[in-house]
């Protein structure tokens, strides 16, 4: 029993260390005297390499840390299993208030950088979701059997920290930390409600980031009461809508075929 507890603790420490290190692999390598260049691209080469290395690091960690008889494929341990389209679609619609708020408080970008949006609104959020919600939340819940609260909070805290670290404006840094920490919680919650898959959290993340790229919004407006209030509203709509859709699905499954009642799996 003592050895088992030691293994559990060692794996937990390893998970936290990997989460902290994931997006800083090149910086850590530079500290060790090894220079890892960015990808050969005209822009976003460094950030792209950072995100690519982060995903590779958590993939290696997942393969090393997963139990021998996890019972799930690597894809499902990352949250890449298939569920349905209704919940992700609802989450996308739930972000409309935030888009409307950005349109009201800002203005359309004079020239939308579609190539830049591919990275900042899709690829980088995808990498972050794989790292923090896929490895940091879904893997720790389904393979390592972490309790729900630690699994939600640990990845959210590190997610907030990596966005806060290095910011010079302390007041803005604390706001960014709070926003991303709460975002990490919301992304994990909707993922859990949708059968421990990444899609709802990813769509919420992508849509919120895309609004920033489409509209030119002042930082004071984006982090002010209206911007934060609309984020909370979108999050509440997403969580509430997914909960209602899953509840309706469970009710339908309880009826079963030929009057047989199917077992209901609680969301935990």
pLDDT for res 1: 42
Give yes or no for residue 214 having a pLDDT over 90. yes
> What is the mean pLDDT of the segment spanning 115-122?
95
pLDDT for res 221: 63
Q: What's the 3-state SS for the chain?
A: CHHHHHHHHHHHHHHHHHHHHHHHHHHHHHHCCCCCCCCCCCCCHHHHHHHHHHHHHHHHHHHHHCCCCCCCCHHHHCCCCCCCCHHHHHHHHHCHHHHHHHHHHCEECCCCCHHHHHHHHHHHHHHHHHHHHHHHHHHHHHCCCCCHHHHHHHHHHHHHHHHHCCCCCHHHHHHHHHHHHHHHHHHHHHHHHCCCCCHHHHHHHHHHHHHHHHEECCHHHHCCHHHHHHHHHHHHHHHHHHHHHHHHHHHHHHHCCCCCCCCCCCCC
> What is the mean pLDDT of the segment spanning 250-266?
63
Give yes or no for residue 2 having a pLDDT over 60. no
38-53 pLDDT, tens digit per residue, is 999 989 999 999 999 9
Who's near 82: CB < 8 A, 6+ residues apart?
197
Report the distance separating Cα 49 and Cα 123, nearest Å. Answer: 12
Q: Band of the pLDDT at 254, cuts 50, 70, 90?
A: confident
pTM for the model: 0.91
If you average pLDDT over every residue of the chain, what do you get? 91
Report the distance separating Cα 136 and Cα 251, nearest Å. Answer: 31
> What is the mean pLDDT of the segment spanning 174-202?
96
| % of the chain surpassing 90 pLDDT | 74
Please list the residues that pair with 216 across neighbouring strands.
Answer: 107
Q: Band of the pLDDT at 236, cuts 50, 70, 90?
A: very high
54-90 pLDDT, tens digit per residue, is 999 999 999 999 998 778 899 999 999 988 899 999 9
> What is the mean pLDDT of the segment spanning 236-256?
90
pLDDT for res 3: 47
Q: What's the 3-state SS for 84-110?
A: CCHHHHHHHHHCHHHHHHHHHHCEECC
> What is the mean pLDDT of the segment spanning 101-107?
90
């Amino acid at each position: 029993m003592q050895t088992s507890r030691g293994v559990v603790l060692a794996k937990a420490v390893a998970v936290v260390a990997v989460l902290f290190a994931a997006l800083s692999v090149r910086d850590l390598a530079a500290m060790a005297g090894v220079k890892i260049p960015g990808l050969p691209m005209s822009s976003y080469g460094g950030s792209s390499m950072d995100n690519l290395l982060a995903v590779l690091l958590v993939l290696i960690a997942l393969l090393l840390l997963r139990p021998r008889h996890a019972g799930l494929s690597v894809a499902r341990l990352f949250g890449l299993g298939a569920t349905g389209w209704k919940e992700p679609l609802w989450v996308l619609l739930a972000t409309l208030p935030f888009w409307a708020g950005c349109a009201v408080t800002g203005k359309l970008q004079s020239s939308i950088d579609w190539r830049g949006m591919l990275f900042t609104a899709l690829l980088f959020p995808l990498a972050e979701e794989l790292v923090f919600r896929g490895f940091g939340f879904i893997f720790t819940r389904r393979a390592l059997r972490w309790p729900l609260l630690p699994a939600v909070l640990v990845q959210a805290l590190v997610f907030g920290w990596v966005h806060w670290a290095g910011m010079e404006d302390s007041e803005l840094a604390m706001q960014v930390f709070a926003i991303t920490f709460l975002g990490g919680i919301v992304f994990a919650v909707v993922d859990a409600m949708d059968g421990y898959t990444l899609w709802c959290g990813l769509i919420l993340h992508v849509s919120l980031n895309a609004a920033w790229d489409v509209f030119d919004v002042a930082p004071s407006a984006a982090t002010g009461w209206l911007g934060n209030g609309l984020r909370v509203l979108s999050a509440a709509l997403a969580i509430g809508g997914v909960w209602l859709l899953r509840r309706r699905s469970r009710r339908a499954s309880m009826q079963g075929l030929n009057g047989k009642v199917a077992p209901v799996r609680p969301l935990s």
